[in-house]
Structure 1
Amino acid sequence: MTFRFFLQPGMATIAAFRDGLEDARLERTPYLSAIAFGGERRGARLWEGVISTARILILGVVIDVVYQLAFLDEFHPEESAVIAVLLAFLPYALLRGPLARVARLWIARRRQVD
């Protein structure tokens, strides 16, 4: 079960890197800023994150269901959902903006060299 605490945030980091790089290429507002202050685009940007992490969220819920049924002999769906969001979506949301900023700097340096 411990591997889950590394696997899900690791996968979320990969998804955040991929989407942050795309944000940098398109010169979009950082992810959490767009969600917090984005106005009408807030829902669309939030949905992007959900879609990007959907497989990770589903994998987390499946792992938690198997664990709960195998070791606890009962199932708590709320616990599964909360743990999946904390281990997958939260790292994704926190890392996407900073990774986009780093990618933006990297892209700017490449343009200066070329």
Structure 2
Amino acid sequence: MALEDAAARAIENLAERPDGPLAFRLAVQPAMAALMAVRDGLRDARGGRPPFGLQLAGSAEDRRQAWREAFRAPARVVIFALLLDVAYQLWFLRALYPGEALLIAIAIGFLPYLLVRGPVARIARHWVGKTGDAPK
């Protein structure tokens, strides 16, 4: 029963965030993660590296390096999102729910990065193939 109560509370708390205070971060932080992904996707294209998704599925060493980079690049955005959500919880909910804070931080900081980097690299690689030089 306690697990069901916690899940119901989490869903209710998460549903209130887009309309509540500090809602601007739900747009700004994914945008920052996407900008970092664009930067890294262009770097992938210039360096002739395989698409990011293939790096994640490649050999053990390639996979390890790709995941390390995937966590390092948006780390500031994720940490900032985590801190803001903890502040939000303490200030407005008067409680701390670490699982919810981590879920929000991953959703608005890490997932946008993973979703944007590969397509940007593919598009930039298409330009590299036509002009011989990557976009700046």
> Normalising by structure 1, what TM-score?
0.91
Deviation of 1:107 after TM superposition, in Å, equals 2.3
Instruction: Give, as a single letter, the amino acid of the residue that structure 2 aligns with 1:39.
Output: S
State the partner residue of 1:16: 37
Q: What is the rounded CA distance, in whole Å, between the counterparts of 2:89 and 2:59 in structure 1?
A: 40
* CA deviation profile, 1:44-72 (whole Å, cap 9, x unmatched): 10110111011001100111011000100
State the partner residue of 1:95: 116
Does the CA contact (< 8 Å) of 1:32 and 1:94 recur in 2?
A: no
Instruction: Give, as a single letter, the amino acid of the residue that structure 2 aligns with 1:6.
Output: A
Q: How many pairs does the alignment contain?
A: 111
Aligned-pair identity in percent equals 41
Higher relative contact order at CA 8 Å, sep ≥6: structure 1 or structure 2?
A: 1
> Normalising by structure 2, what TM-score?
0.77
Deviation of 1:104 after TM superposition, in Å, equals 1.1
**1:65 matched to 2:86:** yes
Does the CA contact (< 8 Å) of 1:17 and 1:96 recur in 2?
A: yes
* CA deviation profile, 1:59-97 (whole Å, cap 9, x unmatched): 001110110001000011111111111111111011100
Name the one with the larger helix percent: 1
Larger Rg: 2
Instruction: Give, as a single letter, the amino acid of the residue that structure 2 aligns with 1:20.
Output: G
- Runs of at least 4 residues of structure 1 off by over 4 A? none
State the partner residue of 1:86: 107
Structure 2 alignment gaps of length 5 or more: 1-21
Deviation of 1:29 after TM superposition, in Å, equals 1.5
Secondary structure at the counterpart of residue 81 of structure 1: helix
Q: What is the rounded CA distance, in whole Å, between the counterparts of 1:82 and 1:17 in structure 2?
A: 23
